[in-house]
Chains A and B, each alone.
Chain A
Amino acid sequence: MASSSSSEGEGRRAWVPLASRPEFAGVTPLPQDDGPSPVVAIAYRDDFRETMDYFRSLYSSRELSPRSLLLTSLAISVNPANYTVWHFRRQVLEALGADWTEELGFTEGVAKRNAKNYQLWHHRRWVAEKLGPDAASRELEFTRKIFCLDAKNYHAWSHRQWVLQALGGWEDELDYCAQLLEEDVFNNSAWNQRYFVITKSPSLGGLNAMRDSEVDYAIEAIHANPENESPWRYLRGLYNDENEAWLNDSRVHSACLRVLKAKRNFKFALSTLLDLLGLGFKPNQEIKDAITSLRTSDLGEAGSDSDLANSICSILGLEDPMRANYWTWRKQQASSSS
């Protein structure tokens, strides 16, 4: 979460006091009731205070009018995180029979100033829902623009997933994920989206249909950057609860072996093998030898499979000291389950 950084003064048009605007004639500003000795009292700027005093007045009388709509725009511009203002804006829009496309434009303006705001995205979802499937392509394009600036914007990804599920537009989504991963294969949000697409897209046939080709895709990414955690977790996710299939996919074993043999960045390969051993995996001699060769002399001899799990935990305890406690604990788990 970022600290508050408002664009104080800069870029802000000269403030025309609401008291001097004809459209707000007859509105009696309603000050905030902070009590006699307020705490966390904000030294509001004059425009902020006046806008909110007028907002409170129209909100308290539930005046569903064009000038109320204007006022919510002004209030959102001074503080886009005020959910009460957004809520009232929705009531006004409903009452006035709003132009929903125009409303999308409004939220795009707000997003330009701050694209990490719950209220904005929640409102956008509400508007897009009004427009229905016709809005899908514009929403996908909008989020795409956001990702050009920040490819991991959490709200934008949630929105995009909602759009796909509620309004459609799945056709190019797998390609889009591939494109993002080509630009930055460490972008875990893009990996997550890829998982979402292969499990949820109505045209791809689901995880079972996609697993085979996705395993290859993930393993290719692993070999390019074995230190990249994202494709390792993705690979595991492809087998979710299908432990039998996970145990028996020789491509996974070979991928781990190849990483071990390179003798660097093998943390996730060992961790993957540890997971497999816990499920009953019987490694061949080559894998056993590769693990043994990573052991430093003081770790003793490896024998049975449970000893192998032990060795892996010992190696990881040394190679990954940040998680030394975790690997000690995993070692206990391994020895108690054998």
Chain B
Amino acid sequence: MEPPPPPPPPPSGTTVTQRDQWRVEQEVGRIYSFFAQLPPAAQSFALEVQRDNHIEYLTRGLRGLAPSFGSLDASRPWICYWIIHSLALLGEPIDAELEDSVIDFLSRCQDPSGGYGGGPGQLPHLATTYAAVNSLITLGGSRSLSSINRDKVHNFLRQMKQPSGGFRMHDGGEIDVRACYTAISVASTLNILDDELAEKVGDFILSCQTYEGGIAGEPGSEAHGGYTFCGLATMILINEADRLDLSRLIDWVVFRQGVECGFQGRVNKLVDGCYSFWQGGACALLQKLHPFGLSEGGEDESTDSIDSSLYAASNVSEQEEQENNLESASPQVDGTCQFKQGGPQSASCSINTGNASYNFLERRAEGGSLFNSSALQQYILLCSQLPEGGFRDKPGKFRDLYHTCYCLSGLTVCQYGRSKHADSPPLPWDVVGPYSNLLEPIHPLHNVVLSKYQEANEFFAG
């Protein structure tokens, strides 16, 4: 392959934002036009998830990292999560010895008084607690799950709880939407979410929804993809999503997908592969939430939408399921947005949020994706993926483990976006590239592989 010629200089008389955007559009455009003129076999290869190379890149990182990773020395449970979750999405088991080493290492990050720090001996921190808990859930098995001291994690979460309703990241640390999400997600997966932890969290998140429609890190700040996912997921986990202005939120998030086919994090910022999950995942949550209910006329309308071919192709049993779903979705029709209670878990907490996470899975997305799923898959596979392994923010950037994790997470959200059940296999045309690109499905509120979530949910049910 010839290296493409350098792009012409950007047009003059434009602003910094326009020039930066123009450069990225050129770069992405060159990739897509190069792809368009490839013969079919080469196109098919270009769209393939390069499993072996990703697995090689990830596994190598799990064993050891170069000196430049010193800047992530206070985020090592995150590195574990990015790698272990990515491998789980690829359906690649980790060998037993390495798995034991991960459990042992994370135990060394667990603070004697509760929660996990960024490395052995570091202060417990909510974000690394979330990363450690998600890693251990993803490994699964009783040795891994029982290594988490739930009572002490609960103590730590209580210590981080603020009178305003929010959480601090760590002792004396910052209070923001990330802290709320990581605390509530951990509490939910470990089945220790109670009234005290959930109290006024909704008030705090609500105060962070901005005039643009998205959610900011703190009241007054700019709407941002990462915080929008965190804020929305938190509200769903505490059963308060209907307090948000969901129509403005949807409008903001769908507009974040740009001509490059990927998502940007904020208005007039550049596309970035990691927002495939933060924004794409928020869309997946919103689809399931379906805030405006099923209107009588709406069902007919959908058949003449662009999805009609898919409905026509779906088999009989799926249509039956669709009918059944109208019943289970009926509480939505009157707009109360209640979650159906039930599930295998006998929640130990008094509050009705106990089952919100599990029950959310039972809700089904109607119609197509809110966003353009095939366009996003195209961006992830052609612009973010490196054939030699790993994913990146955008063309011209280096690969890294964070973007590898969140590009793959975004990819699975795309693939299952139209599935009626969280774990029913997508139809062939929902998967861009060969069907072997299909990844494992996730629980979108926690971003852990679904079967692993289910195992943990049963394990912590008592």
Contact = CB atoms under 8 A, between A and B. Distances in A.
Contacts of B170: 83, 87
Given A40-B76, A192-B221, A326-B370, A237 B68 contact: no
Interface stretch (A18-26, A63-71, A179-187, A287-295): A179-187
B15 interface: yes
B301 A82 contact: no
Contacts of A82: 73-74, 118, 122
B199 to A, nearest CB: 24
A61 to B, nearest CB: 13
Contacts of B399: 3
B57 to A, nearest CB: 13
A34 interface: yes
Nearest to B211: A237
Contact of B259 (A39, A184, A322): A322
B65 interface: yes
Contact of A84 (B108, B122, B307): B122
Contact of B267 (A52, A81, A229, A336): A229
Contacts of A183: 15-16
B301 A195 contact: no
Contact of B71 (A79, A157, A324): A79
Contact of A79 (B70, B97, B400): B70
Interface majority SS (helix, strand, loop, mixed), chain A: helix
Nearest to A41: B64
B268 interface: yes
B10 interface: no
Contacts of A337: 295
Contacts of A44: 67, 70, 73
A187 B266 CA distance: 10
A276 B66 CA distance: 56
A95 B369 CA distance: 56
Interface stretch (A4-12, A99-107, A170-178): A4-12
A78 interface: yes
A230 B65 CA distance: 41
B158 interface: no
B104 A332 contact: no
Interface in B224-274: 224, 250-252, 254-255, 257-259, 261, 266-269, 274
A328 B305 contact: yes
B118 A83 contact: yes
Contact of A188 (B171, B222, B372): B222
Interface residues of A, number: 80
A83 B403 CA distance: 23
Nearest to B106: A39
A301 to B, nearest CB: 17
Contacts of A151: 16
A39 B108 CA distance: 11
Given A186-B18, A233-B267, A324-B372, A33 B105 contact: no
B45 interface: no
A323 interface: yes
A43 B268 contact: no
Contacts of A331: 301
B172 A230 contact: no
A1 B222 contact: no
Given A154-B221, A325-B368, A40 B118 contact: no
Contact of B298 (A32, A228, A336): A336
A192 B210 contact: yes
Nearest to B372: A322
B254 A326 contact: yes
B207 interface: no
Contact of B211 (A37, A195, A336): A195
A328 B15 CA distance: 34
A6 B121 contact: no
B179 to A, nearest CB: 11
A158 B221 contact: yes
Nearest to A234: B211
B312 interface: no
Contacts of B329: none
B123 A83 contact: yes
Interface string A25-48: 000000011111111111111001
A307 to B, nearest CB: 14
A73 interface: no
A122 interface: yes
A200 interface: yes
A62 interface: no
B220 A196 contact: yes
B296 A87 contact: no
B266 A188 contact: yes
B139 to A, nearest CB: 11
A329 B72 contact: no
18 contacts: A1-B403, A6-B67, A36-B104, A41-B64, A44-B70, A79-B73, A83-B118, A84-B123, A118-B174, A158-B218, A185-B15, A188-B222, A192-B223, A321-B372, A322-B259, A322-B372, A329-B370, A336-B298
* Closest CB pairs A-B (n = 6): A237-B211, A336-B295, A186-B17, A3-B400, A184-B15, A188-B267
Interface of A: 1-6, 8, 32-45, 48, 52, 56, 59-60, 78-84, 87, 90, 118, 122, 126, 151-152, 154, 157-158, 161, 165, 183-189, 192, 195-196, 200, 228-230, 233-234, 236-238, 240, 271, 321-326, 328-329, 331-333, 335-337
